[in-house]
Amino acid sequence: MMPNQQNGMDPQDQRNFLIAMALMIVFVFGYQYMFVAPAQQKAEAARAEAAAAAPTTPVVSTEAVAETPIAQLPLTVSDALSSTDRIQFDAARVDGSILVKTSSIDDLNLKDHFKTVEKVEELRLLRPRISKDGDVSGYSANWTWEVQGNEPGRYAPVIRAEDSWRASTDEIGPGETATLNFSRGGLQIERVISIDENYMFSFADTITNTSNREFTLSPMGQVRRYGAWKDFLNETDPGSASKMGLAHQGLIGVFDKGLTLRNYQNLFKDKGIKDADKNGYRAAESGGWIGFTDMYWMAALVPEQGRSYKSIVERENDALILKIDAEDVILAAGQSVTVTNQIFAGAKEYNVVNAYKKSGIPRFDDSIDWGNILYYITRPFFALLNWLKTQIGSFGLAILALTLLIKIPLIPLYNASYKSMAKMKKLSEPMKEIQERFKEDPQRRQQEVMKLYQREKANPLAGCIPILFTIPVFFALYKTLYVTIEMRHTPFLWLNDLSSGEANVLGNLFGWLPWATGEEIRSISLLGFIPIGFLLGIGILAILYGVTMAGIQALSPPPPDPTQRKVMMALPFIFMFVFGGFASGLVIYWVWSNILSLLQQYYIMRRNGVETELDKLIGRLLGRTPKPEE
């Protein structure tokens, strides 16, 4: 005989119990499966280096710009910067330098964002190519030109390995520009590099044909990132490689308003751009953009809009290379033309990327991963949260205000649910009597229970209805808070970073014994595979969540079956540890939501004349009611 039958649990109660447990199991294990990044295998061995360049033409050499062998690379960023000619820039929100030889941006820091929560070191997004611990590290972006030779369709670089741009200055400040020049074989290029007030670099190239023949030229953009994907993610933003589960990190681009994605794991499995042709290229007819995105940062190539282009992603030895081949420019003898291409290198701040979208770069605001299914919830959530933050001045207070605004439309629904719970709580004694009377006749017992429900107009499932609304709201808000940079390193009350779990946890006595941070404690495992850190990694917010969830359960009608009661009593304890590693901003939302629900449910219960477990506890503490006999 099954345990439920031994305890006399009727089919209605069994169905309700299974529904509740299924929802809880889906939540816990669904979160672990979908949103916690699993351990990844090491990147595959690098492929052989690309084939030799195209045949020579009478005008330019086809020899590509050769890269320095790893044994000859500098060992530090400072060595790499000091050993090359550079144009220093210090703009409104970025600083760094441009390599004069190739006019590549390979040295860029974000002035308003920092590597760690201590905010000591600026976050370095782009960095020159160096040898680090025997591996290659580096991240750069550039626009250059190729020219068609005598054979149609065969192009070669205009700038050879031995060539270099000539710079008019070695330093630019906010609002200033740098002019570079290059000429050879009947072609003159004047490049004017400017930086806007945020993160966009413009390359305005004026090309003049000084020869007596026609040239066909093609703008070529490249983003190069060196090393294994976990290494370069953590090098930019420590810990970000472990956050692949919910936020997209990898290739991102727009082709004629169609968004395409490919994560780093698949790129390192030699999977290219989705919907590419047999040669690996995907084409756009009227514009778009493409780049590499991390959780909060992105380096993207933005060709001149209104012109066609094609793009490919390749792996060459230790480099992941994203290339754009833009629409050809046909230059007659004596003719000049100006083409402006751009590079975005910076933080994916909503107001910034949205402004670039409005300026004509299609879907640039979708560089933030709003999600697919929840897209139409996360976008409005963030817009409202961002507006509240501007009005209140605090992101933490904005989360509390957003919680209130989310709860208000659901008040009638929750009121109906709590009224149903109050009725069910009143019926607990009659139901117990029915189960005792018809213990040996389950069919009759079920009939009597249904008659009781009909007579009292009670619906045992009505209390579950709000879950249908709160679960998508929960995940949409979690997605919003997880992927938007505006909460990164934002403090509130005792919390120093709303975008991560609490730093002061049980394992460091809530900050009184600061031998390790909360994140470090949560990562502790016994014997290398038993995760015991989550037991010690709960902070004050997680404990408050467990307490408030237990309070809500105390106001709800208890399950008639003893096994159910034990399971339900354990849930606050379980979820307290589950929430220990969640972003603090999300747990603030959930604790505050629980408090509001607790007050609302208590009010409805008392209004319907139901004495709750809380009332009984208060009565016992005040000596007003006798403690029930054991």
- Is pLDDT at 26 greater than 70 in this prediction? no
Q: What number is the average pLDDT over the span 280-296?
A: 93
Of the candidates 262, 259, 246, 379, which has an alpha carbon nearest to the alpha carbon of residue 313? Answer: 262
Q: What number is the average pLDDT over the span 485-513?
A: 84
- Is pLDDT at 38 greater than 70 in this prediction? no
Q: Of 187-191, 226-230, 518-522, 624-628, which range is least confident? A: 624-628
Name the DSSP letter for residue 324: E
Q: What number is the average pLDDT over the span 373-399?
A: 88
Q: What is the pLDDT, as a whole number, of residue 2?
A: 35
Q: What is the pLDDT, as a whole number, of residue 452?
A: 74
- Is pLDDT at 594 greater than 70 in this prediction? yes
Q: What share of the chain in percent tops pLDDT 70?
A: 78
Q: What is the pLDDT, as a whole number, of residue 624?
A: 60
- Is pLDDT at 480 greater than 50 in this prediction? yes
Q: Of 13-17, 43-47, 274-278, 587-591, which range is least confident? A: 43-47
> H/E element holding 338?
strand 336-347
Are 572 and 380 contacting, i.e. CB atoms less than 8 angstroms apart?
no
Measured CA to CA, the distance from residue 285 to residue 318 in angstroms comes to: 32
pTM exceeds 0.75: yes
Q: What number is the average pLDDT over the span 167-174?
A: 91
**Which of 318 and 81 is assigned the larger pLDDT?**
81
**Which of 43 and 199 is assigned the larger pLDDT?**
199
Measured CA to CA, the distance from residue 304 to residue 219 in angstroms comes to: 10
Q: What is the pLDDT, as a whole number, of residue 73?
A: 81
Q: Tell me which CATH code domain 70-369 carries.
A: 2.70.98.90
Q: By CB neighbour count within 10 A (0-12 exposed, 13-18 middle, 19+ buried), where does 328 fall?
A: middle
- Is pLDDT at 393 greater than 60 in this prediction? yes
- Is pLDDT at 328 greater than 70 in this prediction? yes
- Is pLDDT at 267 greater than 90 in this prediction? yes
Q: How confident is the model at residue 460 (pLDDT cuts 50, 70, 90)?
A: low
Q: What is the mean pLDDT of the chain?
A: 80
Are 347 and 355 contacting, i.e. CB atoms less than 8 angstroms apart?
no
Q: Of 324-328, 355-359, 530-534, which range is least confident? A: 530-534
Measured CA to CA, the distance from residue 198 to residue 356 in angstroms comes to: 10
Q: Angle of helix 584-607 relative to helix 540-555, nearest 10 degrees?
A: 20
Look up tokens 């590509």; give the residue: 64
- Is pLDDT at 520 greater than 80 in this prediction? no
What are the Cα distances from residue 254, in Å, to 282, 361, 374? 10, 9, 20
**Which of 408 and 107 is assigned the larger pLDDT?**
107
Q: How confident is the model at residue 458 (pLDDT cuts 50, 70, 90)?
A: low
Domain assignments of the chain as residue spans, ordered by start = 70-369, 379-502+538-622
- Is pLDDT at 35 greater than 60 in this prediction? no
Q: How confident is the model at residue 299 (pLDDT cuts 50, 70, 90)?
A: very high
Q: What is the pLDDT, as a whole number, of residue 617?
A: 65
3-class DSSP state of 400: helix
Q: What number is the average pLDDT over the span 366-393?
A: 87
Q: What is the pLDDT, as a whole number, of residue 432?
A: 73
pLDDT tens digit sequence for 223-262: 999 998 888 888 888 877 777 667 899 999 999 989 999 9
- Is pLDDT at 433 greater than 80 in this prediction? no
**Which of 600 and 623 is assigned the larger pLDDT?**
600
Q: Which residues of 216-245 are buried (b: 16+ CB within 10 A; e: fewer)?
A: ebbbbbbbbbbbbbbbbbebbbeebbbbbe
Measured CA to CA, the distance from residue 168 to residue 157 in angstroms comes to: 23
pLDDT tens digit sequence for 541-556: 989 998 898 888 777 6
Q: Angle at CA 597, nearest 5°, toward 593 and 599?
A: 120
Q: How confident is the model at residue 57 (pLDDT cuts 50, 70, 90)?
A: very low
